[in-house]
Chain A
Amino acid sequence: MKAEIRDARPQDLDETARLMVESYRQYSKDVPEHLWKDYEAEIADVQRRVPFADLIVAERAGRIIGAVTFYPDATLSEHEGWPEGFAEIRLLAVDPNARGLGLGRMLTDECIDRARANRNPTIGLHTSYLMEVAREMYERMGFVRCPEFDFQPDPDVDIFAIAYRLDL
């Protein structure tokens, strides 16, 4: 059964927040506890993002199995430093039990389509060296590194958010 890619509805928000936290939990062991706790709280805070972003979900058989957050105006995201005109992809998440089906790619393609329709010249995203599968997918899709937008969430911890861009 094919997944449907659509905008989240009000009744989906809690389920989507849970899915996103579950999808990122595999990284909890790779980062110091305080950083994971902060990140987990931020991931779960869907309400804070929805005024400024499209929350897009993948639904199959009545369940949310994937999600992504699309900012038509990246200057309004929590990630500071994107230039005017950029769109941004954030928090791509696929249920650990639904990986390998192309959902991450479908959700990313949906963001690219929306950025094109919105006439953004560029769409950007951050990932990390921990997220190897995602990083390889972005590179296959044509995203290129733009280290000028990298940042380090905690100066005492050697983990970086690394930036990619795709010119549209």
Chain B
Amino acid sequence: MSGVVHRAASLPKKSRGSELRGGSQNDSLLRFSATSRVRAHGRLANQIMIRDAHVGEVDAIVDLLLASYAEYAPAPGDPIELSWHAYRRELADVRGRWPIAQHLVASENATLLGTATFFPEAWLPQLGEDGWPEGYAGIRLLAVHPSARGKGLGRALTEECIERARALEREWIGLHTTQLMKVARGMYERMGFERFAENDIPIRPDFTVVAYRLALT
């Protein structure tokens, strides 16, 4: 797609640095550098960049997630309202996910237009019911601001996740979506994701969070 630059695709994707100093396997996978970000900020003004978020952008990511998912808010009095409030709280917990995820953003200058959360190790217990079997990477919380839709940002963010999962030699990448998210579902299916009903999360008889996965090998 045109106009979107994936951050420094030639950079080594794997982490570097200090396994020797007691960092766990997880830490080493999750470590990323300012290298790609500084290129984004410093060199490519006025282009949309897909890059790692930095620790100062957490509040902006929370705002973006809440604005992007607002369209799924149930009508007042709908019995699903309670779980919607719980879901909003979970959306906003970017800090809680930070240690086990990579937070990707699509940014234009310093403005965040889209985000996705990539889990290099989607089998970690912290993922709870969104977890996947060993060998899976995971995508969660893909969001594009309503004002920036139709530019291919959702697809570019998803592709970045797939590329990272491949670089880590994961066998699968999984994600959950719902019947409400029609645009996203269509996109995932066009990208080759297939339904994986074993990992569905039933919410109530007429509402299921559905699982998709893509084989990477």
Q: Could you tell me the dominant secondary structure of chain B's interface residues?
A: helix
- The answer to whether B55 and A50 touch across the interface, beta carbons within 8 angstroms, is yes
Q: Which residues of A contact B58 (CB under 8 A)?
A: 10
Q: Which residues of B contact A46 (CB under 8 A)?
A: 56
Interface size, A (range): 20 to 34
Using A76-B38, A117-B16 as known contacts, say yes or no to A50 and B54 having CB atoms under 8 A apart. yes
Q: Which residues of B contact A5 (CB under 8 A)?
A: 18, 21-23
- Tell me, in angstroms, the Cα distance from A12 to B54 when the chains sit together: 13
Q: Does A51 contact B (CB under 8 A)?
A: yes
- The answer to whether B55 and A118 touch across the interface, beta carbons within 8 angstroms, is no
Using A9-B55, A10-B55 as known contacts, say yes or no to A114 and B41 having CB atoms under 8 A apart. no
Q: Which residues of B contact A51 (CB under 8 A)?
A: 34, 37-38, 41, 54, 56, 110
Quick one: closest B residue to A120, CB to CB? B35
Using A6-B23, A114-B16, A117-B17 as known contacts, say yes or no to A72 and B55 having CB atoms under 8 A apart. no
Using A9-B55, A47-B56 as known contacts, say yes or no to A118 and B95 having CB atoms under 8 A apart. no
- Tell me, in angstroms, the Cα distance from A70 to B110 when the chains sit together: 21
Q: Does A106 contact B (CB under 8 A)?
A: yes
- Find A4's partner among B16, B23, B33, B42 (CB 8 Å cutoff): B23
Q: Which residues of B contact A8 (CB under 8 A)?
A: 55
- Tell me, in angstroms, the Cα distance from A81 to B18 when the chains sit together: 29
Q: Which residues of B contact A110 (CB under 8 A)?
A: 17-18, 21
- The answer to whether A72 and B34 touch across the interface, beta carbons within 8 angstroms, is yes
- The answer to whether B35 and A10 touch across the interface, beta carbons within 8 angstroms, is no
Measured CB to CB, the residues of B under 8 A from A are 12, 16-18, 21-23, 27, 31-35, 37-39, 41-42, 54-56, 58, 94-95, 98-99, 110
**7 interchain residue pairs of minimum CB distance:** A117-B16, A10-B58, A50-B56, A72-B35, A47-B56, A73-B38, A54-B34
Starting from the known contacts A52-B38, A53-B34, A75-B42, 8 additional A-B residue pairs (CB-CB under 8 Å) come to: A4-B22, A5-B18, A13-B56, A46-B56, A54-B34, A73-B38, A76-B42, A114-B33
Measured CB to CB, the residues of A under 8 A from B are 2, 4-13, 46-47, 50-55, 70-73, 75-76, 106, 110, 113-114, 117-118
Query: Can you name 16 A-B residue pairings with CB atoms under 8 Å?
Result: A4-B22, A4-B23, A6-B23, A9-B98, A47-B56, A50-B54, A51-B34, A51-B54, A52-B34, A53-B38, A71-B34, A110-B18, A113-B16, A114-B17, A117-B12, A118-B16
